[in-house]
Amino acid sequence: MKSLKIAYRTLKRNRRRMILTTALIAIGVMFVLLFAAFSGSFKHYMIGQITDSMLGHLQIHRQGYVASLDNMPLDKNIPEHKLRTIERELDAMEGIVSYSLRLKHSALISNFDTSTNLRLNGIDPAIEHSTLPQLRSRIIGNADFAHGEVLIPDIVAKGMNLKIGDSVVLVVTNNIGSMNARTFKVAGILQSISGPGGRDGYIHIDDSRSLLRLHQNEANEIAIRLHDLSALPQIRQKLTHLLLASNKPPLEIHGWEELSPFSSIAKMIDLMSISIQIILISIVLISILNVMIMSVYERIKEIGTMSAIGTPSSFILSTFLFEGMLLGIFGLVVGTALSYGVVYGIGDMTIRFGRQDDILLSPVLACTQVAFIGVLVIVVSALASLYPALKAARMNPVDALRS
């Protein structure tokens, strides 16, 4: 404890240098924590939008379906008997909140004047809203649409000047080339989100099967919602073991990150976070190393006197180590306090990303992130002080007093 008191007194004696070094470290800590808070908020918001209003956490398909998804294949549907087996396994598995069957296919939509292509999702609305709890918030109109009604994306509604209550014709071609058409009523309009799904419409799954003239209750996608997204790898492994044992027909299980291009952006955000932490390490290392080396050279005679009167080398070593660590701790405390002040001062904010102009960010400084940065700063401070401290502890007292 004596070496700690001496280190603190030395820092007080060189107050200006201590303030400047502390300020530099505090700025680095503040920017790292603020970046982590805002980027983490953006990432979690976007992942929540994608998983909770479009994809779900996990999806089950017949093998090869995802690879040919752009063509909306209908020859890779999961047959009814296989669906019953999958449903029994999902009902018995812990950690799954809900799952919904989907029948996805392409269609031509016409308002009797113009027409355009559309990706249709045949769903059971009640079950789909349990699997995608934020889907309802994207819908303007009747989210609980019935048979004979369709939800269309806003990009199609604007292009074709369609409104809720209008009649449209949906034309589909099944897997044997037979065409079928029916008139539907527009029950609602889907607001777009960033990522895939900009031209996705929804109808009842029974209407999809009728349009495609399917004689069995087939589906080509099963979306799954989990209690905890962090448990995705474990549940995926269990599903793989349970469902892929039977290879008639072979199935594939995909996580949301394999189905959404935003996963690449999420990885870039994580990489940028690591890069900024490396910059913080450099700031702390260089600033403390510079200050401590200067301190050693300025106090050569003092170190020589301490050694000459029999002060142990370990005491001198610990004194200089504590000086560097105190600088790091002071900078950490100030930087963390400033970060909390900025986060709570700004509060929630709205930004624009892609086609969305109402992304609500609610930055939060996670305790784990603050603790990690704290440990990182203290460890780097100790490492930066180690060389100057060893140099001071090994100094020859005679040479030090002669200098």
214-243 tens-digit pLDDT: 888 889 999 999 998 888 889 988 888 877
- pTM assigned to the model: 0.75
Q: Which helix (H) or strand (E) holds 104?
A: strand 96-110
Nearest 5°: the CA angle 318, 28, 317 is 10
What backbone phi and psi angles, to 5 degrees, belong to 187? -90, -25
Pairwise CA distance, residues 195 & 355, whole Å: 9
Which ranges of the chain have pLDDT less than 70? 193-198, 244-247, 349-360, 397-403
Pairwise CA distance, residues 221 & 59, whole Å: 7
Is 384 within 8 Å of 367 (Cβ atoms)? Answer: no
Cis peptide before 249 (omega within 30 of 0): yes
| pLDDT tens-digit series, residues 321-345 | 888 888 888 988 999 999 999 888 8
Pairwise CA distance, residues 344 & 321, whole Å: 35
Which amino acid, one-letter code, is at 266? A
**Predicted pLDDT of residue 298:** 73
Pairwise CA distance, residues 171 & 212, whole Å: 10
**Predicted pLDDT of residue 351:** 65
What backbone phi and psi angles, to 5 degrees, belong to 211? -60, -40
Domain positions in the chain: 2-49+264-402, 64-249
Q: Which two tokens stand for residue 213?
A: 């003239």
**Predicted pLDDT of residue 17:** 81
Q: Which two tokens stand for residue 165?
A: 């209550």
**Predicted pLDDT of residue 170:** 94
Instruction: Determine the 3-state secondary structure of 337 from DSSP.
Output: helix
**Predicted pLDDT of residue 355:** 56
**Predicted pLDDT of residue 265:** 78
**Predicted pLDDT of residue 320:** 78
Instruction: Determine the 3-state secondary structure of 299 from DSSP.
Output: coil
**Predicted pLDDT of residue 357:** 59
What backbone phi and psi angles, to 5 degrees, belong to 362? -125, 80
